[in-house]
Amino acid sequence: MACDASASDEPDADKAAPAFASSWKAVPDAPFPGSVAGEFVVPASKETVVSLTLVNARFTAVPDACVPSTIVRRRTRIVDGNARLLCTLGASTRARTIAFDAVAVGARGEEMGGTIRDEGDGTESRLPPLEITGTPASLSPRLRFISSSDFLNADVGDLRKGPGFWNPKRSANSINGDYRTVLDQVLDDWQSTGPDGVLVAGDLVEGHWGTDDLGAGNFGPVRTLPQQLQALHRAADTYYPQWLGRFRKHELAVYPAVGDHEYGDNPWPRSKRLRAAAFRQEFASYFTRSKSGEPLFADRPKKGPHQFTAYAGRPLPDVQVVSIDPFDITPERRRIGLDKHQRLWLRGVLRRAQRDDVRWVIVQGHVPILGPVRTRGSSGLTLPGGAKSKVWQMFEQYDVDLYLAGEAHDVTVLEEGGVTQIVHGGLFAFGLTNALLLDFYDDFLYVTLRDYDIRDRDKGKRLWQTRDTGLPARIRMSQEPFTLGTGVIPPRGGMRAESGLLVPGFRR
C-alpha cells in the first residue's frame, strides 16, 4: 500500500496559522503495509496533554516523547479504536517534536488527516492531508489471542448458585450488580476484538478454600481435613462454573493455567499441602477434563501429578501454545519449578515444534522467570534460577518466542537469549486488570497492551470471601479501554518497535 507523501504543511491563506507545525510521510519498509510516520511540534509550555485524532488512520505505537502511563497512573494512552492519542508532556522551556507511527485504514483515493489539540488551552490545528494511493491493507491477523493473567484473582460468584449453605443473615454474597456490570464491560470488549482464544496465566480465583475466617459456614465446617476437602469441593463447584460461564456467555474460548491461588495461595504449610491433589483435581474437572473424565488435551504429561494441569496445542500448524504448571507441591514438599515428568514432556513439545519448523512458540505459566519485575500487592513468587534455570535454558534452546506470566499484578517486559517475557495482568477488584492482544501475522507477532480503568470504593461493607478481608463492594469502569503499549516480535528475534509500557527493561 502506497501513500502520497508530497502533502504540504503550509496553511491555506484564508486560515489562521497552525498552532503546531506538523508533517507526515509514507514508510514503505514498516511491518504494516500503509504505514506512515508523522511528527508535530509542541511549543514550550507547562505540563500539558496534547491530543491527536486521526482520520482514516490508526496509531501503531505510543510515541517515545510522551510520558508513558503505568497501570495506576494514566498518562499517555491511545483511545477510540486506536484513532486518538492523548500525549502527556512534562513542563519544558523548549519546543518538543512528537514523532508518531500510524497505518492507513481508508480506501484508495481517500485522505488521511488529523486534528491536534492542546487539551489545556484548547489550541487546535490540523495535520496536512495525505492521499492514500495504494490498495488498502488488511489489518486482520491470521490468529488473535488475548492474554490476561490473574483474571480475576478473586472468588466472584453468586453463592445461591453453589452447592453450599449460604444464608444472607450470616454473610454478604460474593457478587453484586457492580461486579456483573464491570465483568460484562470487560468481556464485551474482549469479544468485540474477535479473538480465537483467551489465555489466563493463573490466579482465576482467590482459592482460600477449605477455610472460613468469619465462620459463616457457607461451605460447611472446616475443622478436620475431610471437612476441609469437602468445603474445598463445594467452593470449587460454586466459583469455577460461574467463572467459566462468563466466558461462554461471551462466546470466548478460554485456556487457563494454574496459579498459586489454584493451590490455595502461598505459603503452603503441611495442612495446605495435604489439599494440593484436591486443588489440582478441581481445576482439571472444569478446564482440562470432560464431564466423563476424559482429557480435553491430547498433548499433556502422561505421568506425574501434573497430567491434567499442563497441556499444549497448535491452533495453527505454525503456532504452538503451551501452558505449564510451575507448582511442584506435594504433602512432602513445596517448590516453584517443574517436576521431572512435566520437564521431560515440555522438552518433547518444544523439540517437536522446532523439528516441525513452527514459526511461533508461546508458553504461559503463572510465575515470572526473569527478574526483577514490578510488583503490586503480590507476594512476588518467581521461578528460581532465572535465565540460568533449566526451564529458561530450554526456552532458549528450542526457540520459544514469548513467555507470558502473571503473579506480579503489574507490567514488565524482559528479554534474554532471544526470548521475550511479558509479565502482566492484575487484581480485578482493585483496578489492575489489563489484557495483551497477540496478533499473529505472516512475518511478525504484534502485541498491544489494553488497559481497563476500574475504580473501587474500598469502604463500607465488603463482598464475602473465605478469607476475612473480602472484596470492595463498589466498583465501576470509568472510561473506555485504552492502549498503553505496543511491540513487534519477529520470529526468533526478540521484541522490537516497542512502545509505552511494553518497552523492555525494568524501571521503577
Q: pLDDT tens-digit profile of 216-239?
A: 999 999 999 999 999 999 999 999
**Ordered DSSP codes for 464-480:** --SSTT-EEEEEEE-S-
The span from the CA of 408 to the CA of 381, in Å, is: 8
Judge whether residue 413 has pLDDT over 90. Answer: yes
User: Residues of the chain with pLDDT > 90: what percent?
Assistant: 82
Residue that the C-alpha cell 519544558 belongs to = 92
Judge whether residue 17 has pLDDT over 90. Answer: no
Strand 130-131 and strand 77-79: the pairing is unpaired
Q: pLDDT tens-digit profile of 139-166?
A: 789 999 999 999 999 999 999 999 999 9
Query: Binning pLDDT at 50, 70 and 90, where does residue 16 land?
Result: very low
Q: Which pLDDT score is estimated for 19?
A: 58
| Average pLDDT of the residues in 260-285 | 97
Residue 17 has φ and ψ, to the nearest 5°, of -60, 145
Scanning 137-275, the segments in alpha helix (DSSP H) are: 177-192, 225-249, 270-273
Query: Binning pLDDT at 50, 70 and 90, where does residue 31 land?
Result: confident
CA 316 to chain centre: 21
Q: pLDDT tens-digit profile of 92-129?
A: 999 999 999 999 998 888 999 999 999 999 999 999 99
Q: Which pLDDT score is estimated for 283?
A: 98
Q: Kindly provide the residue ranges of all beta strands, DSSP E only, lying in 14-61, ordered along the sequence.
A: 22-26, 35-42, 48-55, 57-59
Q: pLDDT tens-digit profile of 176-197?
A: 999 999 999 999 999 999 999 9
Which residues on adjacent β-strands are paired with residue 3?
132
Question: Nearest CA to 470 among 479, 478, 461, 480?
Answer: 461
The span from the CA of 464 to the CA of 456, in Å, is: 16
Q: Which pLDDT score is estimated for 136?
A: 57
Asked whether the beta carbons of 416 and 441 are under 8 A apart, the reply is: no
Query: Binning pLDDT at 50, 70 and 90, where does residue 506 land?
Result: low
Residue that the C-alpha cell 499444549 belongs to = 312
Query: Binning pLDDT at 50, 70 and 90, where does residue 138 land?
Result: low
Judge whether residue 9 has pLDDT over 70. Answer: no
User: Looking at this protein, which amino acid is placed at residue 473?
Assistant: A
Residue that the C-alpha cell 526456552 belongs to = 395
Helix/strand/coil for 78: strand
Residues 6+ apart with CB under 8 A from 414: 370, 371, 373, 420, 421, 423, 504, 505, 506
Q: Which fold has domain 143-500?
A: Purple Acid Phosphatase; chain A, domain 2 (3.60.21)
Asked whether the beta carbons of 165 and 220 are under 8 A apart, the reply is: yes
Residue 61 has φ and ψ, to the nearest 5°, of -160, 160
Q: pLDDT tens-digit profile of 314-352?
A: 999 999 999 999 999 999 999 999 999 999 999 999 999
Residues 271-304, buried b or exposed e (16+ Cβ, 10 A)? ebbbbbebbbebbbbbbbbeeeeeeeeebbbeeb
Asked whether the beta carbons of 433 and 454 are under 8 A apart, the reply is: yes
Judge whether residue 10 has pLDDT over 60. Answer: no
Taking the domains of the chain in order of start, what are their residue ranges?
22-131, 143-500
The span from the CA of 152 to the CA of 170, in Å, is: 25
Q: pLDDT tens-digit profile of 367-384?
A: 999 999 999 999 999 999
- 22-131 and 143-500 have identical folds: no
Sign of CA dihedral 406, 409, 411, 413: negative
The span from the CA of 51 to the CA of 120, in Å, is: 10
| Average pLDDT of the residues in 432-457 | 94
Judge whether residue 68 has pLDDT over 90. Answer: yes
Question: Nearest CA to 422 among 394, 447, 393?
Answer: 447
Strand 311-316 and strand 254-256: the pairing is unpaired
Query: Binning pLDDT at 50, 70 and 90, where does residue 313 land?
Result: very high
∠ CA 385-305-388, rounded to 5°: 10
Q: Which pLDDT score is estimated for 4?
A: 41
Query: Binning pLDDT at 50, 70 and 90, where does residue 81 land?
Result: very high
Asked if CATH classification 1.10.357.10 holds for the domain at 22-131, the reply, yes or no, is no
Residues 6+ apart with CB under 8 A from 121: none
Question: Nearest CA to 76 among 92, 93, 59?
Answer: 59
Q: Which pLDDT score is estimated for 12?
A: 43
Residues 6+ apart with CB under 8 A from 276: 263, 264, 268, 305, 329, 330, 331
Residues 6+ apart with CB under 8 A from 277: 305
| Average pLDDT of the residues in 1-30 | 56
Judge whether residue 1 has pLDDT over 50. Answer: no
Stated pTM of the model: 0.94
